Amino acid sequence: MRRRSTSIATALAVILGSTALTALTAGPATADSAKVLPVRSVGDIVVDGTHRRVYVSDPTGGRIVVTDYAGTVKATLTGLPGVTGLALSADSGQVYAAVKDGNRIVSVETETYTRTASHPVGATPGDLEVVDGRIWFAHGTDFGSLDLSGAEPVVRLAQRGDVGFHGGFGMFLASDPAVPGVLAAGNGGDLAVYDVSADGAALRVKGRMNTGVKQLDLTPDGSQVLTSWGDPDYGYGIGAYATTDLAEQEGYPIDAYPNAVRVAPDGSVAGGSFSWYDPDVHIHRPGDPVPVREYDFPNTGDSSGADTLVDGALAWAPDASRVFAVSVNTHGTYTLRALTDPTRELPTLKVSAPAKAERAKKLTVTGRLTSKETPAAGTVLKVTRTDLETPDGKALAGVRTKADGSFSFTDTPAVGGKVTYKVSYAGDATRAPASGSDTVEVSRKATSLSLNNDGKLYAYGKDVTFTAHLGTTYKNRTVAIYADPFGSDKPKKLLKKAKVNSKGNLSAVVDMTRDTAVTAVFAGDARHAAKTVKSTAYAKAKVSTSVSGHYKTGRIGSTTYHYFRKKTDPVFTTTMNHYTGRHQRFQVQVYVQGSWYDAGSEYFALSGGKSVVRLEAPGESGVRARVRSSYVNGSSGDTVNSTTHGAWKYVNFTN
């Protein structure tokens, strides 16, 4: 423990006017699902509806990650450098993967995720499609096929015919299980449809498409090829081309940069777009340019824009219950997102209730159910009321909508406080469920609640009883008493929570080591309002000072003095209850001609609750002085106790 010092001679000089006091030296005193994928890139995505699995290829990592519909990883297939295109066999028994670095197509059994075969194809495979059992694969600006139906695999390359594919954005293929013998191919602004029902590919028709296309798909009725970039009447959109002559038809407008397109077995269209500030996935009914549903990805990165859709990373569940999408953020983190109920409109249900109402009096609740296509008049909506006595909700009579979707009903709340009315729509084949709610503050009587000891000052460590008194209430007789000691290091604490006694009282004891705010809380009941009252009580600091270095003690009059030789320095050790950064105020007074005069004061840091100060001896006899240590609220470095002065300690210097 370090010692501090001050000079009694200097103090005397101040009193006698001979010099200035030298300063004392102060010592150091945080529905749809989303799961992060363990991948470094994304090449393709395919969904196995039979086993409810999602396959995602990672070209950079050389792997295929298999998840369930919730995104939980079930298997990881490694050793596939450059793996990109994926396709599922018609019976869902095999997944085929294009492995670029090995110029091969790998087969994976979907029950056990076992690699069953690896077929060299003599070129670098990319996009994959399975048509009538044959695997079609893009390579360069051309495409070929792998036929596994015979005793030996048969590979045919360069099947594009006289179509001048030449773009550098990749070769894209498209087919649909419902359209046998048809394959669409596109690249660099060129688009073509082929008959692949026999050996090889026979060109049916060729045409043009936008050069920004990132993906193709074929509608299940075989009438259109859809492209991920088209030329709608305004803005951007999904392109649509007739398979008979590749004439451009009305597509599906999108406000941002389109980069994916996938068609469900029922013809519903999922369009994707690269968009930081707009929706990322757009669901359309066949032929309808207005989306029935849109999904906007959140921002999980560190830029102002949200996560974006990976090019071509869209896939439907075969039952159209979900669309799977892979997004990426600014950190390069990839997330598999399962977007539910994609083909059903998302209605809105607005409920409006009065802000306030009187208990036991009738009130009216109104609202409106809206959707792209308004449900028929007479649609029944479920109504639930939640209040203090029925926190889990009570079903009220259902309400029917009018032709414009509006509705209204009346209720007479018997319970005061917050009353919530929730109205729910069950949904139907084309609309998702929806609900809305609003809250009414229903009147309650004022509650009488008091708490004693406000403003009182207590000695350090005294056990003080605080008593809350609760007046008349309806049912609830429970009161909670909390103590919140001053200072950021001690949190508010529940002392007691219980029913008051027959006199309406509840008491709790506080150990008064700090100034303390004590609160009593009544939560309210069905007819009486909640109430909180506070009493702030104050606690003195614990201050004591001991003296050492004296040769005796004795009385001068009725006062006890510590006697020191005129050249011996008194040492004063002050003990005070600890608080981080606390200082004690050390005050010196000198006795001159029958009166005590202030000789100055200084603050000294406490270490472990103690401070040692050495007072320099005057070097002459006949000098009397007194010192005391104090805690001063605010000036001592904190405000957790009330100002407290220790006892004076008297010293007398002799020969």
CA distance 142 to 162: 11
Region at 151 (left for phi over 0; alpha for psi -120 to 50; beta for the rest) = alpha
In the numeric block, the tokens 């709610």 are attached to 437
pLDDT at 13: 42
At 14, is the pLDDT very low, low, confident or very high (cuts 50, 70, 90)? very low
SS3 183: strand
Q: Is the pLDDT of residue 350 over 60?
A: yes
SS3 49: coil
Q: What is the pLDDT of residues 40-96, one digit of tens each?
A: 999 999 999 999 999 999 999 999 999 999 999 999 999 999 999 999 999 999 999
CA distance 462 to 599: 34
CA distance 208 to 191: 5
CA distance 239 to 253: 9
Q: Is the pLDDT of residue 123 over 70?
A: yes
Q: How many CB atoms lie within 10 A of CB 524?
A: 19
CA distance 540 to 641: 6
What CATH number has the domain spanning 449-539? 2.60.40.730
Q: What is the pLDDT of residues 428-480, one digit of tens each?
A: 999 999 999 999 999 999 999 999 999 999 999 999 999 999 999 999 999 99
At 234, is the pLDDT very low, low, confident or very high (cuts 50, 70, 90)? low
Q: What is the pLDDT of residues 187-208, one digit of tens each?
A: 989 999 999 999 899 999 999 9
Residues 306-323 as b or e (16 or more Cβ within 10 Å = b) = bbbbbbbbbbbbbebebb
CA distance 394 to 400: 18
pLDDT at 235: 67
Per CATH, 210-217+251-343 and 449-539 having the same topology is answered no
Residues 6+ apart with CB under 8 A from 521: 479, 480, 481, 482, 530, 531, 532
CA distance 494 to 652: 52
The residues with which 393 forms a beta bridge, in sequence order, are none
Region of poorest pLDDT, from 28-32, 283-287, 347-351, 617-621: 28-32
Superfamily for domain range 3-27+542-654: Macroglobulin (MG2) domain (2.60.40.1930)
What pTM was estimated for this model as a whole? 0.68
The residues with which 120 forms a beta bridge, in sequence order, are 104
Pairing, β 94-99 against β 595-605:
unpaired
**Residue 95 near residue 48, CB atoms below 8 Å:** yes
pLDDT above 90: percentage of residues in the chain: 92
CA distance 610 to 571: 13
Class of domain 348-442: mainly beta
pLDDT at 44: 98
At 498, is the pLDDT very low, low, confident or very high (cuts 50, 70, 90)? very high
Q: What is the pLDDT of residues 382-400, one digit of tens each?
A: 999 999 999 999 999 999 9
Q: What is the pLDDT of residues 289-338, one digit of tens each?
A: 999 999 999 999 999 999 999 999 999 999 999 999 999 999 999 999 99
If you ran DSSP here, which 8-state letter would residue 144 be given? E
Burial of 224 (0-12, 13-18, 19+ CB in 10 A): buried
Q: Is the pLDDT of residue 643 over 50?
A: yes
Q: Is the pLDDT of residue 19 over 70?
A: no
Q: What is the pLDDT of residues 210-231, one digit of tens each?
A: 999 999 999 999 999 999 998 7
Q: How many CB atoms lie within 10 A of CB 578?
A: 12
- Domain regions of the chain by residue span: 3-27+542-654, 210-217+251-343, 348-442, 449-539
Q: How many CB atoms lie within 10 A of CB 240?
A: 22
Region of poorest pLDDT, from 2-11, 263-272, 407-416, 510-519: 2-11
Q: What is the DSSP string of 415-445?
A: S-EEEEEEEEE---SSB--EEEEEEEEE--B
366: nearest Cα among 317, 399, 328: 399
pLDDT at 174: 98
At 119, is the pLDDT very low, low, confident or very high (cuts 50, 70, 90)? very high
Task: Give me the chain's average pLDDT, please.
Answer: 93
At 168, is the pLDDT very low, low, confident or very high (cuts 50, 70, 90)? confident
Question: 210-217+251-343, what's its fold?
Answer: Thrombin, subunit H (2.40.10)
Q: Is the pLDDT of residue 17 over 70?
A: no
Radius of gyration of the chain (CA): 42
Backbone phi and psi for residue 372, each to the nearest 5 degrees, phi listed first: -55, -45
The residues with which 386 forms a beta bridge, in sequence order, are 420
Chain center to CA of 643: 44
